[in-house]
Structure 1
Amino acid sequence: MPERGRISGGQAVLLNITMIIATAMLGAPAIAAAHARQDAWLSMLLAMLLALPIAGITARLGTLFPSKTIVQYTEDILGKWPGKLLSLLYLLWFIQICSVMIREYSSFLADAIMPETPLIVINILGTGLAAYTVKKGLEVLARVNQIFLPLIIISVILIFLLALPEMRIERFLPVLESSALEIFKGSVAPWAWIGEISTFAMLIPFLAQPGQARRIAVATVSLVGLFFTLLALATVATFGPAISNMTFPVLNTARVINIANFIERPEPLIMAIWITGGLLKISVFYYAIVLGCTQWLALKDYRPLVLPVGVILVALSIAVAENMLEVTHFIGYVWPPYSLLTFELGIPLTLLVIALLRKRGGNGH
């Protein structure tokens, strides 16, 4: 096994939460509100419920093959070459997610903080920091995340508490004005983002207690779903359906804060939260890529792959889109449906059915 580190159930939950919310939290309410308007919070709750089966399937496969990642057990289920092909597709999917995240991350930094800095410089710096974290191993990544994620969540909650004077309950009215179809459409993108719990299939073999996989996956989806619902509730209460026209409604919520002219516009705090969370999320997917490539190529150590994978990620992050608008459109409207139908729900469900029919799995065999 190229990675010998072990993580606790609590660390796994925190890693999974970071993997999902870090880059989605600023824009999630706007995507849901584009369809469901002031009922965006209902779309978030629906997304959470729809993602629970993905969590269950991912955990069930992991417990059938407790010592293997999805890159490895696809071969056990489908045979060597079909399994190799499918696991390669998963690796390409991870690479796509990571490169788009790097581009989103660098574009945000360039627009908000460093407009004069070339995008490629920010991409290289961000990827370099993630590469350093990945090279230190899973346990170090989990410990760093264990420190920063609670701070990120507490900071977001604090900002919403400070914005309470600007919130109005009437902005939710009329409740259920949107149709069931509109609420469902509003849930698709958050459903796909929460569905990234399928990437947990790369971490299950490194749990100190693999039997906790189902509890960890369900806890992650529930906590992320409630967090997204809180984001939608707070932003709708502050701006109403108008959040559908905002790129980053959570950032705009911070801008309205004014407590006795003493605490005003704490956007730098939100930016610091997003920058830290974005780096950690990139690191988790970066780790999944290098570990998966190592297993796919049957190498003994993943560290030699960290640099070449980093170069590929930087190059792709520049090529994926021309501007932030394209990135936002892809993340909100193109990526969710195809990811849900294939890598998050369709393929794992098919793998599980085949594994159960063929009586594959159990003790990693």
Structure 2
Amino acid sequence: MMVSQQDKITVSQTGIIITNFLLGTGILTLPRTSVEAVKTPDVWLSVAFGGLVAILAGFIMVKLSMKYPEKTLYQYSRDLIGKWPGGLFSLLLICYFLTTSGFQVRSVTEVMRFYLLEDTPLWSMAMVFLWGGIYLLTGGINPTARLYEIIFPITVLIFLIVIFLIANIFDMDHLRPVLGKGIVPVLQGVKTTSFAFTGIEVMMIIVPFMRNPEQALKATLVGISFPIVFYMITVIMVIGALSIDGVTSLTWPTIDLMRSFEIPGLIFERFESLLLVIWIMQIFSNFTISYYAAAVGLSQFLQKRVEPILFALLPVIYLIAMTPKNINQLFQFGDLIGNSAIYLVGVIPLVLLMISKVRRRKYEKN
């Protein structure tokens, strides 16, 4: 894949792309979904183990991609498993990224309507999000990465302010006893927490865009480490403030926790606005990079320029976003995406890596 030098990204930009891709709806929903799976205060351990699984998966993906540093997964999968099987896999991966981007658009519109713009139609909020995304992506991946570099420090700053506020009502007793029911519930929750780290698969697409692809593993480890810390702190603080029972009774527990704060006289009297600011920025990051990954895949599949593909996919993403009829169907949609990620970006890269090693050994023998 030929990428212009101007559109190349640095190691730090790559790490920030991964971080922003992983920090999505999990900030708002992970405390509830993980508690429902684990049913003990040891959820933070499940998040840590889920992060380790993500690091292992990222290691496999990067090792595979570094064998073909000038090609994306869409291209080298055909070299490894043949034109037709590779093409089918590429189409499935494109559909996966499209549904992910559509899910993110619908998620942000649902939350904005519930907390900010109650009478605003979903379609109007979705269109603003979609047109903002395509305006950014037509400039290429380098401007996109530079925007993420602006978003990330703002996210860290506001996140620290939010955690500082929660600390006032944090109760350590809500996190005890540690491993009171053993390790089994913790392990049962690893599958759920692993879903929060889906997004590492983007490394198999953006390695050819890196100026130093040999440092892709470093970028991946750094990119995954930040979300692990973010998610662990979020889960610990939300459970410590609301308790296990309080978390499971709320759809968006992190936002509902922030709504309980009100300090008259300050610029921001309702502090959930701060959390929504960083969350909307992170969802925008998640949406744009999955949108771009799908467009790159389709452009390489059809051997066309990526810019027209971006415009062609815009109505498709809109239709996907508007498919769920209510919030319950939206969560079911998210579970479907998470389950498909296990096979598409969890199992298949491992199989491709094994095939690559077998082929290399045969080549060396010959």
TM-score w.r.t. the length of structure 1 is 0.93
Matched, 1:20 2:25: no
Superposed counterparts of 1:141-290, under 5 Å:
141-241=144-244, 242-258=246-262, 262=266, 264-290=269-295
Q: Is the 8 A contact 1:2 1:302 kept in 2?
A: no
Q: Is the 8 A contact 1:20 1:224 kept in 2?
A: yes
Aligned partner of residue 195 in structure 1, secondary structure: coil
Q: Is the 8 A contact 2:99 2:337 kept in 1?
A: no
Q: Is the 8 A contact 1:41 1:229 kept in 2?
A: yes
Residues in 2 aligned to 1:164 and 1:256: alpha-carbon distance in whole angstroms: 13
Residues in 1 aligned to 2:216 and 2:129: alpha-carbon distance in whole angstroms: 31
State the number of aligned residues: 358
Gaps of 5+ in 1: none
State the match for 1:32 in structure 2.
34
Q: Is the 8 A contact 2:262 2:271 kept in 1?
A: no
Aligned partner of residue 251 in structure 2, secondary structure: coil
Residues in 2 aligned to 1:145 and 1:163: alpha-carbon distance in whole angstroms: 26
One-letter amino acid of the counterpart of residue 252, structure 1: D
State the match for 2:68 in structure 1.
65
State the match for 1:338 in structure 2.
340
State the match for 1:125 in structure 2.
128
Residues in 2 aligned to 1:335 and 1:184: alpha-carbon distance in whole angstroms: 21
Residues in 2 aligned to 1:108 and 1:98: alpha-carbon distance in whole angstroms: 16
Match of 1:87 among 90, 97, 117: 90
Residues in 2 aligned to 1:260 and 1:49: alpha-carbon distance in whole angstroms: 42
Q: Is the 8 A contact 2:172 2:240 kept in 1?
A: yes
Residues in 1 aligned to 2:264 and 2:165: alpha-carbon distance in whole angstroms: 11
Per-residue deviation at 1:328?
2.1
Once the two structures are superposed, residues 166-224 of structure 1 have per-residue CA deviations (whole angstroms, 9 ceiling, x without a partner) of 11111111111344332223221221231320122111111110001111112222221
Q: Is the 8 A contact 1:25 1:228 kept in 2?
A: yes
User: Is the alpha carbon distance of 1:183 and 1:337 closer, same or farther for their aligned partners in structure 2, counting shifts above 3 Å?
Assistant: farther
Of the structure 1 ranges 177-186 and 218-227, higher mean CA displacement relative to structure 2 is found in 177-186
State the match for 1:351 in structure 2.
352
State the match for 2:310 in structure 1.
306
Aligned partner of residue 25 in structure 2, secondary structure: helix
One-letter amino acid of the counterpart of residue 293, structure 2: A
Residues in 2 aligned to 1:137 and 1:62: alpha-carbon distance in whole angstroms: 21
Once the two structures are superposed, residues 102-132 of structure 1 have per-residue CA deviations (whole angstroms, 9 ceiling, x without a partner) of 1111111122222212211211111111111
Q: CA RMSD in A?
A: 2.0
Matched, 1:96 2:99: yes
Gaps of 5+ in 2: none
Residues in 1 aligned to 2:112 and 2:187: alpha-carbon distance in whole angstroms: 32
TM-score w.r.t. the length of structure 2 is 0.93
